[in-house]
Structure 1
Amino acid sequence: MTSGLEDVVAAETVLSDVDGAAGRLTIRGHALDELAGAWRFEAVARLLLDGLVDDLPRSDDALAAALGAARREVFARCAPLLPALAALDPYDGVRAGVALLPDGDAAADALRLVAAPAVLAPALVRARRGCEAIAPDEARGHAADVVRMLRGTPDADLAAALDAYLVTVSDHGLNASTFAARVVASTRAGLASAVLAGLAALKGPLHGGAPGPVIAMLDAIAASGDARGWLEDSVARGERLMGFGHRVYRVRDPRADALKGAVRRLAAARGGGSRLALAESVERAALDVLRERKPDRALDTNVEFYTALLLEALGFPPEAFTCVFAMGRVAGWIAHAREQRATGRLIRPQSRYVGPVA
């Protein structure tokens, strides 16, 4: 038996390909370095969903307008319940808000689900800060409106950085949350059910729930004044260095470079170079320590490391970082759910009983 389904092919897909040996991510025929920083999230969402969701708007501009209307609808549905949702952890609040949406399969259902984390996360962050939620502006781009709903004012530089992030995390092969979404979709449940399964899986610290601790690590290292010493002590205690290592990539995670580029562009436009310089020095020291202390393991920078820096610059608190991950990944979950419905069977693997015999 293969532990953790390692190397088991459970689906055929046209959506994305993760080449762990070469460090390449392809999203529907396009290399990540072609998309990140150049394509808007709406364009990549349409790329993923095209041909899988009936009645999807046929142009990027039309999809952007439809997604703007979906944000407005989600806000109207959820606004009366925001005080109750804000009493929860931000991620649990987003998940509870998504559960309020209809569990259908039409384009309108898909767009509401794409819109939901983008509307709920800023509203819940603001509520926890004692601020009023800001209603969506459907005329704005998706990332631009998220920035405005979080911060209260538009900001083109931050919107461009968020766009690059959402594109980078929009899909990534048959990861745990995507597989969970496909399993649920294979039962013929609706899209909301599949997305809720994805959200449940993404919460775990071995999947999407890890970017927040990167900030704690950077802050602790900055306070110590000795990056290498702090990292060596951490490894000696058997602790994991957050932002390093990946289940699939044997080399550097290409998403790390895409997000590092976005952080550099943002620092060049807005300042904040000292935080980036700290992160880069920690990255260099960590890679040296890992090569020396764990020479038999392929441990390189992963998507979490520069995710943390980018989302911090946007103004999201660490406890909401996984909510923002869900903003981008939800498009991939929906595409995989619809692909599973169209091409796959009920997912029903076998188990081997190893307990006592009666």
Structure 2
Amino acid sequence: MSWIPARAALALLGVQPQTLYANVSRGRIRAKPDPSDPRRSLYHRADIDRMAVRRTGRRSAAAVAQQAMEWGDPVLASGISTVEHGRLWYRGCDAVELSDTWTLEQTAGLLWGAEDIVFGPGRRRAQARNASLLSNALSVLATRVDVDPPSRGRARQVLVPEAMRLLEDVMAAMLGPAPEPGAPAHRRMALCWKRPRAQDFLRRALVLLADHELNASTFATRVAVSTGTSLAAGLMAGLATLAGPLHGGSTLSVKELHAAAQRDGAAASVREYSARGYALPAFGHPLYPNGDSRAAALLTRFKIGKVYAAVCQEGVALTGERPNIDFALASICEAFKLPPEAPFVIFALARSVGWMAHAFEQIETGHLIRPRARYTGVALP
């Protein structure tokens, strides 16, 4: 992520400082304190470039589309969640405030516009047991793709119970049978992993990870269901996309950094990442220039391990960025000695709630998502 000082930002925009500050206050340009001089600010280069293009005239359709796909302008209308003023909002409610008391089931009720959400017990049948929990979940969903009816034109009243059964299937595939019928998701996790002290932190993390506007996996889900396919197919699309190392699999990079810091020391490991040209994982987030509020809500409530604390200190000093939700999730799992697969399982089960909310919203539009490509191949006659 590139940040530039005020002088450079003003030169690119060709405006007075007051205009720059006004755009920051309106949320059009992200800003953060300069680590080398807290009295000054740095400005997000991509936001500056986008505003500069607007000032020079009307943007072409190609420029609009390209910038929209790269942390740019919104590309779909949605009433489910958004990030504004450094906070995550679920249908107008502050997600951090909800995480103080709410469960994942209550969050699903809010995001789905439904009541009495319960995950399980669902269909009682043998679950696939494959090489990984991800393949378990995908295999179980695959059995539903040709069985469940297409989603096109179906009412939310019938889709919500179907979504609840699908989420129970995914939970069973990733966690195993429910040890306590009717237990909320966070308690089920804690019991399955035999870590009862982690219950409250699991609850908070599940609420905070339930949705995050139009991220890659959510977009994949919406594209899938926009074709009229089943909810199971949409859930598969989201889950497969989440597995990528730049998305839900990013906690693996955090754990690798932790292992290197444990072996070589935090300062040396962080410097090594920088020297090799890698971006330090789990620090900073394009939507949270002043720090990921979700991470802060978790990290302030427990004492992270010594190695993670040292990595955090060195990472902030090097990048000027604060740790994000991936760092918080990895830290929680280490602090409570959760299994290695826990970060991905927590992320996947929480975000499945958001995927279903977006699936319902997309189905109700009745529209197919079909963007055009900007051709860059061999010149045409």
TM class, shorter-length: 0.7 to 0.9
1:235 aligns with 2:274: yes
Selected match of 1:147 from 190, 194, 201: 190
Instruction: Report the residue type matching 1:179 in the other structure.
Output: F
Aligned ranges for residues 11-160 of structure 1 at < 5 Å? 11-19=76-84, 22-50=85-113, 56=114, 58=115, 62-63=116-117, 66-67=118-119, 70=120, 72-74=121-123, 76-79=124-127, 81-82=128-129, 85=130, 88-101=131-144, 102-104=147-149, 106-123=159-176, 134-151=177-194, 155=196, 157-160=197-200
AA of the residue aligned to 2:122: E
Structure 2 distance, partners of 1:315, 1:108, is: 34
Q: Displacement, 1:303?
A: 0.9
Asked if the contact 2:257/2:269 (under 8 Å) is kept, the reply is no
- Higher helix proportion (structure 1 or 2): 1
The 2-side partners of 1:316 and 1:212 are apart by 14
Structure 1: runs of 5 or more not aligned? 51-55, 124-133, 265-272, 292-298
Amino acid across the alignment from 1:49: W
How many angstroms apart in 2 are the aligned matches of 1:175 and 1:348? 17
Cα distance change of structure 1 residues 25 and 306 upon mapping to structure 2, 3 Å threshold: same
Report which of the two structures shows the higher radius of gyration computed on alpha carbons.
2
Structure 2 gaps of 5+ residues are: 1-62, 152-158
- Does the alignment pair 1:346 with 2:368? yes
The CA deviation at 1:24 is: 1.3
What SS is found at the alignment partner of 1:26?
strand
Distance 1:37 1:118 in 2: 23
1:296 aligned partner: none
Task: Determine the C-alpha separation between the residues in 1 that align with 2:336 and 2:100.
Answer: 16
Aligned residue identity for 1:219: A
Q: 1:320 to 1:230 in 2, by over 3 A?
A: same
How many residues are matched? 305
- Distance in 1 (CA, whole Å) between partners of 2:203 and 2:306 is 23
RMSD: 2.2
* CA distance in structure 1 between the aligned counterparts of 2:330 and 2:253, rounded to whole angstroms: 8
Amino acid aligned to 2:138: R
1:255 to 288, 294, 297: 294
User: What TM-score do you get using the length of structure 1 for normalisation?
Assistant: 0.78
Per-residue deviation, 1:29: 1.2
How far the C-alpha of 1:332 sits from its partner, in A, is: 0.3
Contact 1:48 1:332 in 2 (8 A): yes
**Bigger relative contact order, structure 1 or 2, given CA contacts below 8 A and separation 6+?**
1
The within-5 A match list for 1:191-340 is 191-224=231-264, 226-262=265-301, 264=302, 273=303, 275-291=304-320, 299-340=321-362
Alignment partners' CA distance in 2, 1:77 and 1:348: 37
What is the CA distance between 1:315 and its match in structure 2?
4.5
Residue number among 164, 168, 171 corresponding to 2:208 in the alignment: 168
Any idea what SS the aligned residue of 2:89 has?
strand
